[in-house]
Amino acid sequence: MKLLHTSDWHVGKTIRGASRADEHIAVLAEIAQIAAREEVDLVIVAGDLFDSAAPSAEAEGIVYGALLDLADTGAQVAVIAGNHDNPRRLRAVAPLLRLGRVHVVAEPSRPDDGGVIRLRSRDGADARLAMLPFVSKRGIVRARHLISKQAFENVQDYGDRLRRLIRRMCEPFHSDTVNVLTTHAFVLGAHAGGGERPAHLVEEYAVTAQSFPVSIGYGALGHLHRPQRVLAQLHYCGSPLQLDFGEAEQAKQVNVVSVEPGIPADVRAVQLTAGHPLRALAGTLDELSSVSVDDDAWLRVVVQGPSRAGLAQTVRELLGPRVVDVRVESPVSAAGERRIDHRSRSPQEVFDEYLKHESIEDTRVLDLFGELLDEQSDASVAVGS
């Protein structure tokens, strides 16, 4: 059987408020083209289709259209919910998607109740696909456990429950079938990509690699945005776009996998090119003025030097409108090391000292503060008279 593994689309995600809908449309179309060109039997989407549990109508249109486009290639499409997805929303639309050869498992289900589906490849190979969506700790560790148990015991309980769930899902696997598992989980020892939700990357939500039985021919993992192999048969394919600046410079891909019974899977990374790159720049304003940038790159800029009003606008005038994040790296002022006695100083002097402490060199800010003081003084005189 030949399959394509993708995950962590996060459709609806913006970058500092800027829409990435066009990028998602383009990269999902690219994935469908790869599936058609490779003539895969199965496409696995291993969770986090959406960035939000309450996606916009635009995001839903992009995701559901992309799933049907993948099915139009002739492949079966299998989808599980991730920690960003709303299981109830996915469950509601699942019957309609099933008409388009898209199988959705939104919540953990027993193997004989939709959790494991049987497939047949184009060349007649018999396959089993176990589908385990993200399992929240809330479903395992209850309030009474938080009170009555130590924290490490709850961590162990979560990991042990996931291990047993995985083993139960893999029970229908046989030595003469193609055995594939997909789940959305954090496997201990794997490396985050940089754009994930930190709360779900702690050990309290983790499962060990040893929890996955050797009967799995290929494990299609979702949750981490960095492509990587965890064990010989366990792989994260990563997100299809650089979703945040922690993922800048990461190459993005899908995995095209050939699996046969009893034989290690042949995993091939296919690079994706449709998304815009994310790039981080740093330097003084003079240095940044001579930097050439890609027209389509999203930019985070760290300005080295004193801060001043309108700095972000100045940076955008230098580098273009795709600057979405401007930060200032100012030298630490020695004045900040001493305690300032301001009891005998005027408000103007105190504010001037504050600007020096913060390395803000902009006389306009000081002048505006002076105008504000004058207005306040005039108002006080008017009230007194």
43-80: per-residue pLDDT in tens?
A: 999 999 999 999 999 999 999 999 999 999 999 999 99
- pLDDT at res. 25: 98
Domain boundary among 271, 289, 314: 271
Band the pLDDT of 358: cuts 50, 70, 90: low
Domain boundary among 271, 303, 330: 271
What is the CATH number for 125?
Answer: 3.60.21.10
- pLDDT at res. 40: 97
In this predicted model, what pLDDT tens digit does every residue of 95-132 receive, in sequence order? 999 999 999 999 999 999 999 999 988 888 899 999 99
Residues 122 and 264 placed together within one structural domain of the fold? yes
- pLDDT at res. 21: 97
Residues 247 and 167 placed together within one structural domain of the fold? yes
Residues 330 and 258 placed together within one structural domain of the fold? no
> Residues with Cβ < 8 Å from 55, sequence gap 6 or more?
11, 12, 63, 86, 89
> Residues with Cβ < 8 Å from 136, sequence gap 6 or more?
83
Residues 227 and 291 placed together within one structural domain of the fold? no
Residues 150 and 233 placed together within one structural domain of the fold? yes
Domain boundary among 207, 239, 271: 271
- pLDDT at res. 69: 98
Number of domains in the chain: 2
- pLDDT at res. 335: 44
* Nearest of 33, 40, 6, 19 to residue 324 by alpha carbon: 19
Distance CA 304, CA 291 (A): 14
In this predicted model, what pLDDT tens digit does every residue of 160-203 receive, in sequence order? 889 999 999 999 999 999 999 999 999 998 888 766 666 555 55
- pLDDT at res. 295: 72
Residues 262 and 354 placed together within one structural domain of the fold? no
- pLDDT at res. 261: 92
The range of the structural domain enclosing residue 300 comes to: 278-384
CB 11 within 8 A of CB 62: yes
Residues 239 and 282 placed together within one structural domain of the fold? no
Neighbours of 329 (CB within 10 A): 13
Residues 352 and 217 placed together within one structural domain of the fold? no
Question: Is the pLDDT at 331 greater than 60, yes or no?
Answer: yes
In this predicted model, what pLDDT tens digit does every residue of 306-318 receive, in sequence order? 877 788 899 999 9
Residues 17 and 107 placed together within one structural domain of the fold? yes
- pLDDT at res. 148: 57
% of the chain surpassing 90 pLDDT: 61
pTM, two decimal places:
0.82
Residues 107 and 224 placed together within one structural domain of the fold? yes
Residues 240 and 328 placed together within one structural domain of the fold? no
In this predicted model, what pLDDT tens digit does every residue of 8-49 receive, in sequence order? 999 999 998 899 999 999 999 999 999 999 999 999 999 999
Residues 91 and 206 placed together within one structural domain of the fold? yes
Question: Is the pLDDT at 343 greater than 70, yes or no?
Answer: no
